[in-house]
Structure formats: structure tokens, C-alpha cells
Amino acid sequence: MLFTVLTGLITSSLLVPFGKFIKTKWSILLPFIPVLLFIVYLLYVPDVASGTNFLQHLPWVPSLGINLDFKLDGLSLLFALLITGIGSAIFFYARTYLRGHQYYDRFFGYLLLFMSAMLGVVLSNNIITLFIFWELTSISSFFLIGFNNDNADSRKSALTALSITGIGGFFLLAGLVLLGNIAGTYVISDLVAQHNIITSHQLYPLFVGFILIGAFTKSAQFPFHFWLPGAMKAPTPVSAYLHSATMVKAGIYLLARFTPILGNTDLWNYTLMIVGGFTMLYAAIHALFRIDLKAILAYSTISALGVLTFLLGLGSKEAIVAASVFILVHALYKATLFMVTGIIDHETHTRDLTHLSGLRKVLAPVFIAALLAALSSAGVPLTFGFIGKDLIYEATLHAPSHLALWLTVLAVTTNVALVAAGFMAGIKPFTGKLPQAYEKIHLPYTSMWLPPLILAILGLVFGCFPGLVGDLLNHRTANSIWGGETAMHLKIWHGVNTVLLLSLSTLAIGTFVYLINKPSILKLAAIEKFNRISPQRIITGYAYDIKRFSNWYTHLFHDGYLRSYHFKIILFAELLLGYKLWLSGPISIDFSVLTPPSWYEVVIMLVLLGALYIIVTTKSRLTSVVSTSVIGYCICLMFVFYSAPDLAMTQFTIDTLTTVLFVLVLYKLPSFMNFAKKGILVRDAVVALGFGTILALIALRVLYEPNTTEISSFYGENSYLLAKGKNVVNVILVDYRGIDTMFETVVLAIAALGVYSLIKLRLKSSEKE
């Protein structure tokens, strides 16, 4: 399984050096990567359908419990097949769709990266690796949404999508880590066994909340749904792949995967039902008012994701089976509709429903694909969608009795809107009179219309022969979510019962709504008036405020004056140290412990004070710098007296060099000295005195700390034995704490490079003037 994840990643990175071959004649090779992986996963089907789970374990960071654990069960296999299967169709399609594009190779690089990340998400059996792949899907989708990077709207949408899913990812990580720490394991199959411990933990609401935010942002649930319509700025193959069949379903996958771990509690079930239920209705109704084909599809996708969340929230056996089936149903018809939209856009250069009509005359095979998909989405008998819809109604009818009626009404209303939306996207552009402008349109290459047609036909085949997928879906997939036996036979004909009546009336009302709802700009404008109170406006407004605040905050601290940086740093250190000192209680100095000062110490102190006086009073910069170095040398002498030759030597040389540096810099400055105002001088004096006093107090306090010699005696005893050095200071530097020293030299190097480039760069810009 690791192999299948890596295939895409490796090919993706190979495209960097070999991309130019792919651009021309070898591009036919690309689609065979997902095809190959699809075949690999197809071969797993018989085994998984008979109940075998495949496990793979590769140690990665075993000390932290993070390993490359993979597990293939019914749920993973369904998603893996979707990712590679729909991926194959998309790859063939995109190869033609983007033919001759400047960044052709780059596009497939991102797409392969995305595919691998998705496979990683659905196969991971370790929640931390799952999270890593999860983030990778966000990042690769950022590049795919912003693929038309010369378009400002496209870049903005990409950023919105990334920030929303990124925030979600942040919460998800927090939730996963909490969960892992409470359960003591990051392995999903072990977490399932601890369901009771986890759900009865007092922090349960917290980490469930975090994980749900992660899943809801990814799967575009209200109020985070708005990034998905924006993400439609991506090239159509991307929308078809990421935003219908795979990436947005990652959130659903996560919910399904975590149902046996976190589910079956009121909190879990009601949250999912409320959020999913609201989202599905809200988005389905929104879809009816759109005129852009892709916008309709985007909103109906959000609605479908809401349906899935809702079903997982219901949590009954029927609901889980319905969800498993609906995942496949939706992926098949929605990817088809997206690809059809792409063809229409490609040929007519518009996606505006008010302009499109009669295309069946010129794009016949495309029309067949679209029609089949629309019928499946509407749930017409003999399509796969019919079975899916039946199961949904069965699930709502079997809900607890006080809810059943309301939930069924909710589901029917949503489905009515979805039927109409599906017809709008799949049938509307093809019916009616063909405008003259489109008469010359010809059918695109076979590789563009064949993939959607195949997917649409599959929808029909599964609808007529549900047994083909029945075992896998309702036994194994639902079983991975439900945990117990889920055998329910997928049937085409249940006999005349409530479910059938509901299904047929949904269809009838949906068709009626479609017929009376003529897409128009006026309706779009009407619904856009509500934008002011939409979550999108609120969240982006909030993001804007954060940006303004951080701008203000940054300018407050980065005003560009060295003196103000120094002032702030020292003041902060003073407050922190002063507070700590104050906490540690009163300080008493026992003078009797201190050794009496010798005459040379007195002399040095006098020199020091003299130099200090000169610094404070002099009007010349040079004099003050030289006096500062006098102070440095005095301290050196102190080190010598207290037998610290290493320190003394270093201090001496450093002092010399800083003085030289100071002089060099001052030399370039204008010669006059601008004196600060009296108030500022006093302020600085207070801060400086305070800092000095605090440091002195700390130094005195250190004397009264219990004097443990363990460390120094350890170094003393071992430096020669272990490190063959007699100079303990040096042995510490190059041996015991060698890595520290290593990084300190790196810091020095960075500082030097900084000075070098600052000065060189400034010169260059002035040369330009």
C-alpha cells in the first residue's frame, strides 16, 4: 500500500526534470498511473469483499508512536477505488482539456501529488500520518485551485480555500493529539477498541469539537461551505476530481472512520445531524438560484456532502449503508456532470445557463452522459441514484419515532431541490433551440467525452445490477463504519411501499420545480442580497480585522529605530526579571561572606567609574565608544583576577573588535550629535539603572543559592577520560555541547551574510537612482 502512495509522489517529483517530455509526446503515459493503481486496488476487491483486511506497518518515528501504518478495509478500499478510478477518467480528460497549456507538466505534477496524498489519507491507520496526508491534500489543492495564477480571483479563491481548510487542519491536529494522548495510541484500529474510555472521558466534547471542525471545513459544511464555490475557479478537471469526488469527501471519510471511535453518543449524532441537515437544505436551495453551471454543481455538491454528514449523524445501520452507497452514487454522477460542464465551457466558452440551450444537436454523446448523470442524481428508477435515494429514505423513516417525520421531510425537501439542480446542470443546456452562435461547435476529442460517458454508464449498470457492488459497499464499507453486521441487500424493487412513494413524489415535484424555475440573473441578484449576512462575509471580515490588527501590532514594535528596539527589549527583560525577583522574596546581603576587596579591585572599580562618567557626559561619539571599551577591558581584568583565562581572552578580543566595528560605523555617520530631550534622557537613565540594579541583585542572589558542584565535578572528572581534553571550558564547547556550538557558528554565519547582503543590496538600489 505504501507503494501505491509513493508511486504518485515519485512520478510527481520526476516531472520536475522530465516535464518537458511529458508536455509533448509522452503525455499519454500519465493517465496510466491512476489506471495502474486502479487495477491494483481492483485486485484487492475479492479479498476485501470476503472480509480480509490488509495491514502494513513501517516504523517511522516509533519513539513518538508515529509510524507509516496502512490498513485496507472496506471503507478504505471504496475511497481508494474512487480516487484512482475517477482519477483515471480525469487524467484522460485533463490531458486533452489542457492540451498545449504552458504549465501542462506542472498541472499533472500537482494532480499526482494530490492523488497520492488522498490515497495516503484513506489508507493511513495512524492518525498522525493521516493528518500529514490530510494537510498535503490541502496544499496540493491550493496549487490546483490557483492554477490560473495570472488571475487575481483564482489566487484569492485558492488562498480562501487554503486558509479555511488550514484552520480546520489546525483544529484537527489539536483534536487528534488530544485523542491520541488520552487513548495512549495513535493507531486507528487500537483506538476503536477504546471507544468506551474515549467517549466517557471528560475532555471528549473538546476533542470531538476540534476533530469535527477539521472535517467540516474540509467537507465544506455550513458555515465553512463558502470556499467550495470559490474553488470553482480551478480548471474544470480539478473541480471534477477534487471538489466532487475526492478531496471534499476526505472530511466525510474522516467522520466515517472516526464513527466507531467517537460516535454513538448524543453529542456526535446530533451535531452531525444538525450541521449536515442544515447544510444539505441550505445549499440545495442555493443551487436553484445560480446561473453558472459550475456554481450549481458546487452548491449541489455541498448539499450532497451535507446529506452524507447527516446520514453519518443518524448513525443507524440503514443510514450507514445509505451513506456508503451514496458516496459512490454521488461521485459517479457529480464527476460526470463536472466533466460535461468542462466540455460545454471548452466548446462554447460560457457556462451561463441563460445562454446555453439545444446543445444536444451538436454534442450528442455528451448529452447522453449528462442525461444519465442527471437521471441518476434525480434517482430515476433503474439508475444507481434510485437505490441511493431509497436507502436515504429508509434511513430517515427508521430514525427514532419522534424525529422520523421531520427528518424525512427534510430529506425530501433537499432531494426535490437536488433533482431540480441536477436537471438544470445536466439537461437544461442540451434542450430547447440551438442558438446560431453554437451551430458550428463540433464534438471534442474522444478522450474528453468518453470518460464522463463511461462514468455515467457505470451509474446505470450499478443501478440495474446492484449486486456488482453490493457486497463491497453494504457489507464491508458499512461494516468498517458500523462495526457490526450490516448485511442489507441492495434491491431494485422493494414493492410498493412508503419509500417508493416518497421516491416517486420527490421525482415528480423535483421535475415540476425544474420546469417552473427558469434561471435568470434577477434571481441571482436577489439571492446575492443576502450575502451581507452570509458566513463568508463575516469570516472574511474577521480575517481582514486580524490582518489590520497584526499590521498595527507589527508597526508598533518594528518602528525601524535601533534605539527603540533596545529600549523595548531591555524594558521587557527588566519587567520579567524584576517580577521573578520580587516573587522570590526579599534579598539580604551578608557582607561577612564576601571576601574583602583587594587594592587592585578598588583601582579597577575607580577606572570603571571614571569611564562611565565620561560616557554619560561626553559630547563626542568616539570618546564614548572608547570609554565603553575601557569598561570592557576592566571586566576582562576581573576575569583574570578570578582565574577565568578563557573568558578573559574572549572578552578581550571581542571588546577590541566591537570597538573597531563601532568606530567604523560611527565614522560613516554625520558628525553632529543630536541630543535627546531631557525627558527621554531621564527615561533612558531610569531604564538603564533599573537593568543594572536587577542584574546586580541577581548576581548577589546567586551567591546564596545552594552551591552544587555536581555538574562541574562531572565535567572535571570526565573531560579527560571521555573527551581527552584538559581544558574543561573548551571540552564543553567542542564536545559535550558541540551541537550547540555548531548552531552558534551557523547563527554567526547568518549574521555575517545578513550584514553583507544588507549593505550590498542597498548599494545596488542607490546605483539605480
Partner 1 sequence: MKSAILQTATRYLLPILLLFSFFLLLRGHYYPGGGFVGGLVASIAFVLHSFANGTESTMKILRYKPISLIPIGLGISALSVVIPLLFGLPPMTGLWFEQPIPVIGMIGSSLFFDLGVYFVVIGVVLTILFTISLEG
- Within 10 A of 686 (CB to CB), how many other CB atoms are there? 10
Least distance in Å: CB of 8 to partner 1? 32
Least distance in Å: CB of 657 to partner 1? 6
Q: What residue type is assigned to position 410 of the chain?
A: L
Question: Between 647 and 687, whose beta carbon lies closer to partner 1?
Answer: 647
Least distance in Å: CB of 762 to partner 1? 9
- Which residues inside 137-176 make contact with partner 1, applying CB under 8 A? none
Cβ-contact 604, 642 below 8 angstroms: no
Least distance in Å: CB of 741 to partner 1? 7
Asked if 576 is part of the footprint of partner 1 (rule: CB under 8 A), the reply reads no
Least distance in Å: CB of 641 to partner 1? 15
Question: Between 537 and 762, whose beta carbon lies closer to partner 1?
Answer: 762
Contacting residues for 288 by C-beta, under 8 A, at least 6 apart: 417, 420, 421, 424, 513, 517
Bridge partners, 67 (sequence order): 59
Question: Between 709 and 766, whose beta carbon lies closer to partner 1?
Answer: 766
Cell of 177: 493529539
Q: For partner 1, what does the binding mask look like between residues 598 and 637, x meaning CB under 8 A?
A: ----------------------------------------
Q: For partner 1, what does the binding mask look like between residues 347 and 386, x meaning CB under 8 A?
A: ----------------------------------------
> Which span (306-314, 442-450, 540-548, 738-746) binds partner 1, by CB under 8 A?
738-746
Q: Please choose, from the candidates 179, 169, 174, the residue with its C-alpha nearest in 3D space to the C-alpha of residue 261.
A: 179
**Total binding residues for partner 1 by CB under 8 A?**
41
Question: Between 597 and 738, whose beta carbon lies closer to partner 1?
Answer: 738
- Which residues inside 746-765 make contact with partner 1, applying CB under 8 A? 746, 748-749, 751-753, 755-756, 759-760, 763
Least distance in Å: CB of 603 to partner 1? 24
- Which residues inside 704-723 make contact with partner 1, applying CB under 8 A? 722-723
Least distance in Å: CB of 737 to partner 1? 10
Cα 739 to chain centroid, rounded: 33
Cβ-contact 622, 666 below 8 angstroms: yes
For residue 143, with 0-12 CB atoms within 10 Å meaning exposed, 13-18 middle and 19 or more buried, which class applies? buried
What is the rounded distance in angstroms from the CA atom of residue 273 to the CA atom of residue 286? 20
For residue 665, with 0-12 CB atoms within 10 Å meaning exposed, 13-18 middle and 19 or more buried, which class applies? exposed
What is the rounded distance in angstroms from the CA atom of residue 509 to the CA atom of residue 503? 10
Cell of 251: 472530511
Among 6, 487, 689, 742, interactor with partner 1 by CB under 8 A = 742
Q: For partner 1, what does the binding mask look like between residues 635 and 674, x meaning CB under 8 A?
A: ----------xx--xx--xx-xx--xx--xx--x------
- Within 10 A of 747 (CB to CB), how many other CB atoms are there? 9
Contacting residues for 191 by C-beta, under 8 A, at least 6 apart: 127, 179, 183, 185, 198, 261
Least distance in Å: CB of 58 to partner 1? 22
What is the rounded distance in angstroms from the CA atom of residue 630 to the CA atom of residue 632? 5
Question: Between 445 and 720, whose beta carbon lies closer to partner 1?
Answer: 720
Question: Between 409 and 665, whose beta carbon lies closer to partner 1?
Answer: 665
DSSP codes, 146-213: T-STT-HHHHHHHHHHHHHHHHHHHHHHHHHHHHHHHHT--BHHHHHHTHHHHHTSTTHHHHHHHHHH
Site residues for partner 1 per CB under 8 A? 645-646, 649-650, 653-654, 656-657, 660-661, 664-665, 668, 722-727, 729-731, 733-735, 738-739, 741-742, 745-746, 748-749, 751-753, 755-756, 759-760, 763
